[in-house]
Amino acid sequence: MIAGRCISADEIAFGSTRDVPACTMTGEAAAIAVSLAAASGVRVSTVAVGEVQARLRALGTWLGTPGEVVPDVLKQAS
């Protein structure tokens, strides 16, 4: 399993992308998916996305999916 950023930008535009938070979240999701797969003895590709999302939410991660309540800390940041 590899997690990283998928972006196409020149070096000037790339400097303003602020991609570290997104890379952190994809890495965390990948780690959870691998952990779930290993615990069940299945391939990572068979792990349900909803199960990974549920684990992320249980850890307090805001995913920004429709209908999800925006945490107060994010409301204050804008």
Instruction: Read off the pLDDT band of 71 (50, 70, 90).
Output: confident
- At 77 the pLDDT is 62
Question: What is the chain written as a DSSP string?
Answer: ----------HHHHTT---HHHHHHHHHHHHHHHHHHHHHTS-GGGS-HHHHHHHHHHTT-----TTPPPPHHHHHH-
User: Mean pLDDT across the chain, nearest whole number?
Assistant: 84
pLDDT tops 90 at residue 68: no
* Domain residue spans of the chain: 11-77
Does residue 23 register a pLDDT over 80? no
pTM, rounded to two decimals: 0.71
Per-range mean pLDDT, top range of 25-29, 55-59, 61-65: 55-59
